[in-house]
Structure 1
Amino acid sequence: MSRPGSAPLVAHLIYRLDFGGLENLLVERINRMPAGAYRHAVICLTGHTDFARRISKPGVELYALDKQPGLSLATHAALFKLLRRLRPAILHSYNLNAVEYAPAALLAGVPVRINGLHGRDASDPEGRNPKHRLLRRLMLPFYDCCYANSADMVAWNRQVIGVPERKSRLLSNGIDAERFHPLASGEVRPDFGFGPGLIVIGTVGRVQDVKDHATLLEAFALLRARLPQQAAQLRLAIVGDGPLLPALRERVAALALDGLVWLPGARNDVSDILRSFDVYAISSIAEGTPGSVLEAMATALPAVGTRVGGVPEVIADGVTGLLVAPRDANAMAAALARYVQDPSLRAVHGAAGRARVQTHYSMPAMVAGYQALYDSLCERKTIFRKSITSCVE
Structure 2
Amino acid sequence: MSATRPPIRVLHVIHHLQPGGMEYGLIKIVNGLVGSGVESTICSTTTANPTMRALLHPSVGLIELTRRPGNDPRLVWQLYRTFRRERPDIVHTHAWGTLVEGFVAARLARVPVVMHGEHGTLQLGASQVRVQRWIWPRVDVLLSVSSRLAERMAATVGIPLERVTVVRNGVDLSRFGTTPRAAARHALGVPDDLVLIGHAGRLVPVKDQAGLVEAAARLKAQGLAFRVVIAGDGPLRPDLEAQIAALEVGECVHLLGHQADVERLFAALDVYVLCSRSEGMPNTILEAMASGVAVVSTRVGGADELVVDGETGCLVPPAQPAALADAIGRLVSDASARERMGRMGRQRATTTFGLPTMIAGYEAVYAGATR
Fold equivalence (TM over 0.5): yes
TM-score, reference length from structure 2:
0.92
- For residues 105-154 of structure 1, give each alpha carbon's deviation from its aligned partner in whole angstroms, at most 9, with x where no partner exists: 01112111111111016xx5xxx422222111111343111110111111
The CA RMSD measured in Å over matched residues stands at 2.0
Structure-2 residue corresponding to 1:309: 301
Structure 1 segments, 4+ long, off by >6 Å, are none
Work out whether 1:277 is the aligned partner of 2:273: no
Question: Residues of 2 paired with 1:223 and 1:273: CA distance?
Answer: 22
2:345 alignment partner in structure 1: 353
| 1:10 maps onto 2:6 in alignment | no
Cα distance, 1:293 vs structure 2: 0.5
CA distance in 2, matches of 1:207, 1:34: 32
Alpha-carbon distance between aligned partners in 2 of 1:51 and 1:116, rounded to the nearest angstrom = 24
* Aligned partners of 2:179 and 2:263 also within 8 Å: no
Q: What does 1:352-371 correspond to in 2, within 5 Å?
A: 352-371=344-363
Amino acid at match of 2:357: A
Residue equivalent to 2:140:
144
The residue aligned with 1:104 is: 105
Instruction: State the SS of the aligned residue for 1:275.
Output: helix
What does residue 388 of structure 1 align with? none
Amino acid paired to 1:370:
Y
Distance of aligned partners of 1:8 and 1:329 in 2 relative to their CA distance in 1, 3 Å threshold? same
- Contact map agreement 1:203 1:239 (CA 8 A) in 2: yes
Unaligned runs of 5+ in 2: none
SS in 2 for 1:58: coil
Identity of aligned residues (%): 34
- Say if 1:102 and 1:142, in contact at 8 Å, map to a contact too: no
Shift of 1:182: 6.2
**Which region of structure 1 is more displaced relative to structure 2, 236-245 or 291-300?**
236-245
Tell me, in whole angstroms, the C-alpha distance in 2 between the residues paired with 1:277 and 1:237. 9
**Per-residue Cα deviation, 1:168-227 (whole angstroms, up to 9, x for no partner):** 21100001112111667x96554211233211100111211110101111111111112x
Does the 8 Å contact 2:179/2:264 carry over to 1? no
Alignment-mate amino acid for residue 201 of structure 1 = I
Cα distance in structure 2, aligned partners of 1:212 and 1:329: 10
C-alpha distance after superposition, 1:78-129 (max 9, x if no partner)? 11111111111111111112111212101112111111111016xx5xxx42
- Is the Cα contact below 8 Å between 1:203 and 1:237 reproduced in 2? yes
Amino acid at match of 1:147: L
Note if 1:225 corresponds to 2:226.
Answer: no
Deviation at 1:329, TM superposition (A): 0.8
Give the C-alpha shift of residue 6 in structure 1. 6.3
After TM superposition, give the deviation of residue 36 of structure 1 in Å.
5.4
Query: Is the partner of 2:84 in helix, strand or coil?
Result: helix
Q: Which moved more, 1:172-181 or 1:5-14?
A: 5-14
Tell me, what secondary structure is at the counterpart of 2:175? Answer: coil
Question: 1-side partners of 2:137 and 2:341: how far apart?
Answer: 44
Aligned residue number for residue 56 of structure 1: 56
How far, CA to CA, are the matches of 2:347 and 2:212 in structure 1? 27
Stretches of structure 1 that go unaligned for 5 or more consecutive residues are: 380-393
Tell me how far apart the structure 2 counterparts of residues 64 and 189 of structure 1 sit (CA, whole Å): 36
Deviates more, 1:210-219 or 1:259-268: 259-268
Residues 42 and 61, structure 1, Cα contact 8 Å, conserved in 2? yes
Deviation at 1:282, TM superposition (A): 0.7
Q: Identify which range, 213-222 or 249-258, moves more after superposition.
A: 249-258
Q: Aligned ranges for residues 45-84 of structure 1 at < 5 Å? A: 45-84=45-84
Q: Quote the residue 2:151 is aligned against.
A: 155
- Aligned counterparts of 1:155 and 1:376: Cα–Cα separation in 2: 23
Amino acid at match of 1:178: S
Is the CA contact (8 Å cut-off) linking 1:87 and 1:109 kept in structure 2? no
The answer to whether the 8 Å contact 2:216/2:253 transfers is no
Q: Secondary structure at the match of 1:169?
A: strand
Find the aligned partners of 1:112 and 1:223 in 2 and give their Cα distance.
Answer: 52
> Match of 1:179?
175
Moved more, 354-363 or 26-35: 26-35
Distance 2:36 2:331 in 1: 47
State the partner residue of 1:120.
121
Would you say the 8 A contact 2:219–2:325 is kept in 1?
yes
Paired residue secondary structure (2:67): coil
For 1:211, the equivalent position in structure 2 comes to 207
8 Å contact kept, 1:30–1:55: no
Deviation at 1:358, TM superposition (A): 1.1
User: In structure 2, what is the equivalent of residue 29 of structure 1?
Assistant: 29
Check conservation: 1:9, 1:39, Cα contact below 8 A: yes
Which amino acid is 1:162 matched to?
Answer: G
SS at match of 1:72: coil
CA contact (8 A) 2:115 2:140 kept: yes
The count of corresponding residues between Structure 1 and Structure 2 is 365
Whole-Å Cα distance in 1 between the matches of residues 179 and 83 of structure 2? Answer: 46
In structure 2, the residue matched to 1:200 is 196
**Conserved in 2, the CA contact under 8 Å of 1:281 and 1:303?**
yes
Match 1:249 to one of 241, 245, 265:
241
Q: What's the CA shift for 1:165?
A: 5.5
